[in-house]
Every structure is written in C-alpha cells, then in structure tokens.
Amino acid sequence: MFFTGVNIVLDEFVAKVTDKTAVIGIVGLGYVGLPLMLRYVEVGFKVVGFDVDQDKVDKLNNGTSYIKHIADDKIKAAVNQGMFEATTNFSRATAVDAFLICVPTPLNKYREPDLSYVTGTVDSLLPYLQKGQVLCLESTTYPGTTEEELKPRIEKQGLVVGTDFFLIYSPEREDPANPNFTTSTIPKVCGADTENCQQAGLALYNQVIDKVVPVSSTKAAEMTKLLENIYRAVNIGLVNELKVVADQMDIDIWEVIDAAATKPFGFTPFYPGPGLGGHCIPIDPFYLTWKAREYGIHTRFIELSGDINTNMPEWVMGKVMDSLNSRRKALSGSKVLVLGIAYKKNVDDMRESPSVELMALLQKKGADVLYSDSYVPKFPPMRKYKFDLESTPLSPQIIEQSDCILIATNHDNVDYDMILKHADLIVDTRGVFRGKHSNVVKA
C-alpha cells in the first residue's frame, strides 16, 4: 500500500481505494460511463451512477442496457449484487469518494466549445463536495479547462486542491464495439497539477486499468486527447481529399490505400468515408482551434482538414445525383435506401453521424428516403434532425425496388452479396466492394 507520510487526507483516500471500500461516482452514464462502471464493479467497487435522464436511470436500475454492445445481463448483475445504483439525485454525492465525470462536450452553432454539461455537472456537485474526495474529468476538452474552470469552482467551496481535495484529468479512450480492446486494456493517461493529486489519480485508476500513463499536468493530459483525435481527423481529411482527386483520375482510392498499407514502415492506413462521425473526431479539433486563438495562433492545418471532412456529404450527394443521371433518373422522386446510419460500423451510436446529414440532403433534394440499420431499429430523437422512420428490413425485393442503395455505414451483419446481385445502383462510400462492378459507384 502506498502512503505519502505527509498528507493524511491523501493516505486515507489511497487506503480506501486499495481495500476497495471507496465508493466510485460516475457522472454521465453513456458510452464512456457505463463501461467504466462495469469495470469498477468487476474488481469489487461499489458505484453510484449519476445522470439527469430519469428514463435512462430507471432502465439501468431495472437491469436494462440502452447501448447495444453492452449486454443487459452485465447491468442486471451489477444491480442485483448491490454494487451499482443509478440516480438523478446529486445529493447522493456526499457518500462518494471519487467522481468520474463523463458528460458530453459538444460544439455550439459557431463551432465553439460548449462546456455547459461539464460546468453544470460540477455546479450540481459543489454543494455536496467534501474534504478527501477526488474529482476527475474524463470528457474531451481544450487545454486549461480543468485548471481554469473546475479548480476555481471547487476552491470557492473552501476546499484546497492538492491538500484536502484532489483534482485530475484523465481522458476517455473508449472505442465502442472494438473486440480487441477493453476498458482495462486501453492505457490511460492521467494528468494532475500537484503531486498529491497525481498520486490520488494513480491510486484510483491503477485498480482498474492495466497501464496508467502519468503526465505532468492536466493541460498536458487535455492536449494528449486532442492530439489523438486531431491526428485521426487530419489523416482522414487527407485521404478524403485524395479520394476526390483519384475519382477524377479514374483511380480506385481503396485499391491505392490497400497497396500502400503493405509497406511495413512509415505508413499507417486511413480510409475515406462520407464524413466524420462520433462524438470525438468531428468535434475535438475545434476545441484546440478555439483555444489557440486566445494565443493569437490560427491552426490552418487543423481547420482545413475539418472543412474537407465537413464537405464530404455534399460531395457524396454529387456522386449520387451523377450516378442516377447516368441512368436517366432524377434524384427528386427516386427511392434511395441509406444503408447504415450509425456513425461507424457495428455500433448503435448516432452522434454526429454523416449518414444522417446525407439523409437530410437527400430529402431536401426531393428523394424518397428510407434507411436500413439493424443497430438502429427506429430513428431516434435528435437535436438537429427528425425523421419519422423505422429501419427497413433488407430483402431482394426491397433492393430491387430502390433506385439507389447508398452505403453510408458498413455494418458487418449485412448480406452485401445479395445487395450486389439485386441492386441497380450502389453508391459505396465505405469501400465495401473492392474492384470494379457495373452497378457500383465508389464515393
């Protein structure tokens, strides 16, 4: 057991974590919070889950998961064992030793950071915070958020960060439905601005994560998360731009990428698509571009890749219209079946999905839009889009009746051979079909 010998408050927290009597509070029970809860329960910690959505809380307390790749029986077991309870009552925070905040950090309509979920969560906790607790922000944000937004709020309550309260930043790294990695096996970055806070963070995460990577400050940890996602956004923007060039040259970009990927050094394959989706990659780069302006820096490279990726749905639309025109059909009045509306394959996550942007563009142009996605049986409520649609089951008849099959998300559980056999026109944005086919247009 680790003892500082200097800070009794820290030693008491470390002792609680080591003997697993510490109660873990997870705020935000979504794609990040739920897997984290299950991991803490798995190793023997009691967890209180906080969320503002009463319907979500009721489902979880009844042992029902609302995320497809998280099984009901795992939630039910945690509840039945008395190891997990969800609540909307933030006064329960007085019984918690460590808070892990896993709430959304979206952009507003001006592409500026919207920290209202983070600051609102912390403000809800403030009346119940007490000496000896730990608070860790896991939500992606710009460098300086923990130090500039959270620390002053906590210290206004009379708590001294680093002495009798411990504040850390440890960005989430969940990859939903990826069978190769789990919460425990993905290394976890942990940043703090004092040694005591860092020791509290390491004690907290070493219990559930195989490898914890300490960095020197909360700013460094915040920047680490942004670098990870900007790296992906920029490289996807690059291959999306190359896709447009290759298309004009009648070159199959997927063939080129597959060939380049055989180089055993100096190349990492990234693949084009209809645009960026998910809560991280379409959003996080703009957190840094916004913060960089405070220092008089214009992040041209990052913003250029953002513009390229944001414009991909419009480019795909052009390919759909041109492909229909070549068959003497107008987009207006054509039946277009959008195949896959989650933001990536094999998940039910709709956040920032480019598929939905494509549906909106198609509808605006007068197309008769249907979708098929077994992961999303009914189109969910969304802030920006509204479709009164349910997933259309795939069959040879449905495929034959469609003027265009637009592959927007390439789930593995789809019979693509059947689609290829019966479709008059397929617009493939995901490289499902390699090689040339008379009824397939790459987009």
Active site positions, annotated: 280
CA 437 to chain CA centroid, Å, is 34
Q: Count of CB atoms within 10 A of residue 213's CB?
A: 15
Cα distances (angstroms) measured from residue 264 to each of 267, 269, 335: 7, 11, 44
- Could you give the CA distance from residue 408 to residue 428 in angstroms, rounded to a whole number? 7
Q: Which two structure tokens, joined as six digits, stand for 240?
A: 């999306």
What values do phi and psi take at 383, rounded to 5?
-70, -35
Cβ-Cβ contacts under 8 Å for 384 (sequence gap 6 or more)? none
With beta carbons less than 8 A apart as the criterion, state whether 126 and 167 touch.
Answer: no
Q: Which two structure tokens, joined as six digits, stand for 289?
A: 């571009």
- Could you give the CA distance from residue 225 to residue 264 in angstroms, rounded to a whole number? 27
Cβ-Cβ contacts under 8 Å for 421 (sequence gap 6 or more)? 396
Angle ∠(370,375,381) on CA atoms, nearest 5: 65
Widest CA span in the chain: 80
The DSSP string of 117-145 is HHHHHHHHHGGG--TT-EEEE-S---TTH
Query: How large is the angle between the packed helices 8-18 and 195-206, nearest 10 degrees?
Result: 10
